[in-house]
Chain A
């Protein structure tokens, strides 16, 4: 259904008219039932292949549905998947070049311990599964045309956005003089190892691997030592914050801060794993910030601090008090369960903060 997928104005017009007949639903609500990939309201994708990368990581090839607007190498995508009926969202870097084979896109996922979504994706996702997608986002991208001399510094799954860049460069014949310094636990845990080593063999890429199980964590200085001409290269780095901070300091000191672009990985917090009690709560729309303990509900705390918040029953029944989280985790006072994350809708009258919270109210 590529034709519907690329809806031009006649189709859009038609859908607008049809929506008068389907009100209050949209024609998409019917189309999406026949094939989730036809829905424009809820961008979806179908998993077409799951390829094992290492023992705990896999590449997931997805055919995005109507409305996917494409991406640039290095960008990431929000992926939603239902685990036990509950939808979870995570961001993953895209590893496929833009406009890949058959319009497919791919992400690579490393199963982290206690990672509900990542283990589900790596171990239990089969071709045919439906996933939900956001649009590609992020400014960690190569300029057009790409610079001649490149340096990439990556650690662990930080290699995934860089893989997307390398594949894009290789496809257009623009991969001539790139260096990749990659930090990982051991040789067998390196994702895309075969492909990277093949590039290295063809001399289009110089590859340095650091294995922490053997040599410990390298400092930025140690990494840059491997690349004598690093100050003359355009650099992209992705990995844990400590490493990136260290790199940033080095680049600053050398007066070439502008040559470094970083992408930070925010490790996903597994819901329930967090045992913080209380925290600073920001009501973004009211412009109120207040420190709360682990027993005062967000509604009570916000009101006491002068925020005008919607409320009704104040007992978790009516859902008048709901607001969308910008960040943070909350504990439901009725069940004790901790949940949250950006975009999650919560009831302020029965939620207490589990750490710092920002809510769109």
Chain B
């Protein structure tokens, strides 16, 4: 698959790439060296906020009778679940707060309120996606295989339905990635042993059972006569969380500006090459602080891909410096409001549904 003809990777010399690597390393190192108590306080605050929201949502759903209070409870629960997924889980599991050496807020111990087990997800996301970002055929995040988003993906009649099942996928996204993360097809081509797959499946089944029991059996059960209402509130919170996460994930790498790469790109790729690939494959979303918080700062997808282990709330402050590097080397820096990016991705999905 040929690289986009105008890809800056064709134009930059090895010296350019080294210089870019040095500049970006310096940006990352400066933040890492500056981390301290205010940063620790930030993540503790977000965790406390998330737990407070979740507890109030559950209490609200439990004690109130009115329908509007139930809607409020569901909204709080949705917010709590989004924070758990994006603002906390995703970032903690990237090791962004490992420097605190707090065993409770550590990439090796964190577990989130989603069906994917932390272990499977860290492998497929932290390793595969962040190493092979936007390499067609290697980055398993790319369109999640089921969706055709690139002219070089061979067309098949099922893609005609992708606008439809694309929506369905968004609604059950958390379950889709849980199953997808285990990469069971890797057993067939020998990249994974059967026993490893089996133990991952077991861990998933255990976790999924607890997740399902909590939201769809136990909380409704303790709600007594309002069981159905609680169940619906929990279901809607889970579905909305899935849809939101799906949106943020798709907007980060699929808008039209985002470049994809052939596998050859990996051969002898320098650190600078890796940086530039991350840059070209990611898109930012414009917005204000609450919006960034709700995306887990994945609205700074570019900064996140350059520095996946740097505490996410520092991305806004380093963004201008990254942008300046891009300008100096005439590299694109893709960014846009959510609505526009959404239209761009939707257009792609519709376009590539057809041959």
Contact = CB atoms under 8 A, between A and B. Distances in A.
Interface of A: 20-21, 23-25, 29-30, 33, 41-42, 82, 84-88, 312-313, 315-320, 322, 334-335, 344-345
Given A20-B214, A313-B131, A322 B112 contact: no
Nearest to A88: B101
Interface string B156-181: 00000000000000000000000000
A322 B111 contact: no
Contacts of A345: 98, 101, 106, 108
Nearest to B114: A24
Nearest to A321: B127
A16 to B, nearest CB: 13
A322 B218 contact: no
B127 A320 contact: yes
A318 B33 contact: no
Would you list the 7 A-B pairs with minimal beta carbon distance, nearest first? A85-B40, A312-B127, A318-B127, A318-B126, A24-B111, A85-B37, A313-B131
Given A319-B94, A320-B123, A345-B98, A41 B131 contact: no
A23 B32 CA distance: 32
A88 B99 CA distance: 11
Given A23-B210, A23-B211, A335 B33 contact: yes
Given A42-B104, A88-B101, A334-B29, A82 B55 contact: no
Contact of A86 (B33, B48, B100, B103): B100
Given A312-B126, A319-B122, A41 B104 contact: yes
A21 B213 CA distance: 9
Given A24-B211, A30-B51, A42-B104, 8 more contacts: A23-B113, A23-B211, A24-B210, A85-B99, A319-B94, A319-B107, A335-B32, A345-B98
A119 to B, nearest CB: 16
Most buried by A among B33, B36, B101, B106: B101
Given A87-B102, A312-B126, A317 B309 contact: yes
6 contacts: A23-B113, A33-B51, A82-B102, A86-B36, A312-B123, A315-B131
A322 B95 CA distance: 10
Contacts of B55: 30
B130 interface: yes
B39 interface: yes
B138 interface: no
A320 B122 contact: yes
Contacts of B122: 318-320
A29 B47 CA distance: 10
Interface of B: 25, 29, 32-33, 35-41, 48, 51-52, 55, 58, 94-95, 98-104, 106-108, 111-113, 122-123, 126-127, 130-131, 207, 210-211, 213-214, 218-219, 222, 271, 274, 308-309
B131 A87 contact: no
Contact of B218 (A20, A82, A313, A315): A20
A95 B35 CA distance: 35
Majority DSSP secondary structure for residues of B touching A: helix
B127 A313 contact: yes
Most buried by B among A88, A334, A345: A345
A312 B94 CA distance: 13
Given A85-B35, A312-B131, A319 B126 contact: yes
A21 B127 contact: no
Contacts of A23: 113, 210-211, 214
A88 B104 CA distance: 14
B131 A318 contact: yes
Majority DSSP secondary structure for residues of A touching B: loop
A42 B107 CA distance: 17
Contacts of A316: 309
A86 B99 contact: yes
A88 B101 CA distance: 8
A85 B39 contact: yes
Nearest to A39: B104
Contacts of B101: 86-88, 344-345
A50 to B, nearest CB: 20
A41 B111 CA distance: 15
Nearest to A344: B101
Nearest to A22: B214
B274 to A, nearest CB: 8
Nearest to B132: A313
A97 B103 CA distance: 30
A217 to B, nearest CB: 36
Given A30-B55, A85-B36, A21 B100 contact: no
B92 to A, nearest CB: 11
A24 B113 contact: yes
A25 B89 CA distance: 12
A318 B308 CA distance: 9
A313 B108 CA distance: 16
B65 to A, nearest CB: 21
Given A85-B35, A313-B131, A21 B107 contact: no
A316 B106 CA distance: 16
Most buried by A among B94, B112, B131, B218: B131
